Amino acid sequence: MIIIHSPPQLSAAQPPHQPKTSSLVYNPIKPTHFTGLKSPSFSSFNTPKKKKQVNIQETITIYPSKTPFTDDHVLPLSHLDTDRNLHVTFRYLRVYLNSDAQQQPKKADSDPFHVITTALSAALVHYYQFTGSLSRREPDGRLELHCQVGRGVPVIRASVDFPLSEADYLDDDPDESFVEALVPDPNPDEVISHPMTLQVTAFKCGGFVLGAAIHHSLCDGLGATQFFNHMAELARGASEIRVEPVWDRVNLLGPRNPPRVEFPVQEFLSLDRDFPPYSEKTGRVVREFFNVKDEWLDRLKAILLEQTGSKFTTFEALGAFIWRARVKASGIPSDEKVKFAYAINVRKLVKPPLPAGYWGNGCVPMYVQAKAGDLVDQPIYKTAELINKSKYNVSDEYVRSFIDFQELHYHEGITAGAKVSGFTDWRHLGHSTVDFGWGGPVTVFPLSRNLLGSVEPCFFLPYSSANEGKKDGFKLSVYLQEHAVSGFREDMDKLKNLEPGFL
């Protein structure tokens, strides 16, 4: 159980239009009001070993250190930004140690909250769009960004009265409710009004957790990491960021004139106003963690190589294994279609490539589909081949056709449908480069449940570097229907001692 103390009501130190207002208390949104985006049926199998308490001290608004614009204006988003699958908040955290040995050079200011909020204030001069608010435009209902003078970003200050080591650096099977309290959880109305909210939680050891809640229409994981890297540069003493951010969403990723769909994206997408993304009824869903050792993966890929003569990546081989195990354990009727969904970065695939500073959504969803019965019955290598071949569909034309399909059919309700399994690999996204002066994060952890149209996503995650040398391989975070957990665990246990016949 988490006990959250409400912050005291503090008075505003300066009026909103003043740039130096990092200490201004933000009253309209209080931390204890961030209750949205959690399904009432969502829970965890993990039973907390002891009560852990997060103390919320205050919520303040951070404004740009210099006025980035003088007139209110509206910015359109790209058709990738306004994809209905991205009308969600993505929430994640970074865990930082704070020791003298890590500070290179040693920081004069050792208060992480002050360092981060000061850097945020400077970064918002370049990324002022994070201070805006989202609204649906007429007549098509697409999101657009309203930028108004005098707005800022809410930041929550919190503390914990024990060291990070006591929580194992949030690495192995963390306490679900405790982790949730470390990251802002705005409800749908709050996140539309404030597309980004941050939380800095100090631990007794001096380490801290930076939690973020960002509306996905503004950026993807790579775009958010670019922003936090620029924040970190400024925190470490840089006077300017190295790469100026690029906003030009419509010109770079807008529809063609006239729009045309030359790649058959409609094979994977359907039109249904009555089935918006993430509306699938699944019952009780839980999050499970699994450790995956390198030797198990090597054995899996070696068997697939022997069967096919082809080499498969970890994502292809293990993704195929997990997809089959999930569908099998879920008991989906054999004639029902199921989908494997993942995102692919197209920043360098489109023609011309997107500029280096582009921080909007730069990924498109890719889908592999099969009938549930075929997926369960066929050898794993055939599924791995399907995933592998799907990558070759990605081209500039695929991206442009996807965008034009959004232009032509957005009002009809584009959806990937039900029984979608979303997969994403966080092992190589560059999170470790976000260094505010104490070294990069030792743990990065996602809390989002809705991904790529799936309400049961799977994340490939690196182990915490705080436990480096203790473990090999990586860990899986998998959302499953409760009734499927037992059967899924059985198949994951078989991964340890694979026999070719099982595949």
Is the same domain home to 295 and 184? no
- Is 342 inside any structural domain? yes
State the pLDDT at residue 282: 79
Which one is catalytic: 126, 194, 215, 216?
216
Judgement on whether residues 157 and 300 belong to the same structural domain of the protein: no
| 281 and 248, same domain (yes or no) | no
Same domain (yes/no): 134, 220: yes
Residues in the chain: 503
**Domain final position from 192, 220, 252:** 252
Task: Establish if 23 belongs to a structural domain.
Answer: no
Residue 47 domain flag: no
User: Both 237 and 266 in a single domain?
Assistant: no
The three-class DSSP label of residue 262 is coil
Query: Residue 397: its pLDDT value, please?
Result: 97
Which domain does 380 fall in, by range? Answer: 254-502
Q: Are residues 422 and 292 in the same domain?
A: yes
Residue 435 bears catalytic tag: yes
Domain identity same for 263 and 361: yes
Boundary-marking domain end, from 230, 252, 274: 252
The reply to whether 380 and 473 lie within a common domain is: yes
Is residue 8 a part of any domain in this protein?
no
Is 95 a member of any domain? yes
Distances (CA, A) of 226 to 96, 131, 137, 223, 390: 18, 17, 28, 5, 28
The structure tokens 């692919």 sit at 344
The distance of Cα 41 from the centroid of its chain, to the nearest Å, equals 21
212 plus 276 within the same structural domain: no
What is the predicted pLDDT for the residue at 18? 37
Q: Which of 223, 252, 281 is the last residue of a domain?
A: 252
> What integer pLDDT is reported at residue 437 of this predicted model?
95
Q: How many domains does the chain have?
A: 2
Q: Name, in order, each residue with C-beta under 8 angstroms of 166's C-beta and a sequence gap of 6 or more.
A: none
Beta strands, E only, 257-336: 270-271, 285-292
- What's the pLDDT score for residue 429? 78
CATH number of the domain where residue 400 is located: 3.30.559.10
> Active site residue: 171, 220, 425, 435, which one?
435
Residue 22 lies in a domain: no
Maximum distance among all Cα pairs of the chain, rounded to whole angstroms: 70
User: Within a domain: residue 111?
Assistant: yes
- My answer on whether 187 and 281 are in the same domain is no
- The per-residue pLDDT for 320 is 98
Angle at 93 between CA 491 and CA 476, to 5 degrees: 10
Do 59 and 156 belong to one domain? yes
pLDDT of residue 175: 87
Coil, helix or strand at residue 128: helix
Does residue 387 fall inside a structural domain?
yes
Instruction: Clarify whether residues 387 and 361 are in a common domain.
Output: yes
How would DSSP label each residue in 160-187? -SS-GGGGGGG-SS--HHHHHTTS----
CA-atom Rg of the chain in angstroms = 23
Q: pLDDT tens, position by position, for the chain (503 residues)?
A: 333 333 333 333 333 333 333 333 333 333 333 333 333 333 333 444 557 899 999 999 999 999 999 999 999 999 999 999 999 999 999 999 986 544 444 455 689 999 999 999 999 999 999 999 999 998 888 999 999 999 999 999 999 999 999 999 998 767 889 999 999 999 999 999 999 999 999 999 999 999 999 999 999 999 999 999 999 999 999 999 999 999 999 999 999 999 999 999 988 998 988 888 888 887 889 999 999 999 999 999 999 999 999 999 999 999 999 999 999 999 999 999 999 999 999 999 999 999 999 999 999 999 999 999 999 999 999 999 999 999 998 999 999 999 999 999 999 999 998 999 999 999 887 778 899 999 999 999 999 989 999 999 999 999 888 876 667 899 999 999 999 999 999 999 998 887 766 77
Alpha carbon 357 to its chain centroid, in Å, reads: 20
Residue-level pLDDT at 99: 64
185 a catalytic residue: no
Q: What is the predicted pLDDT for the residue at 502?
A: 73
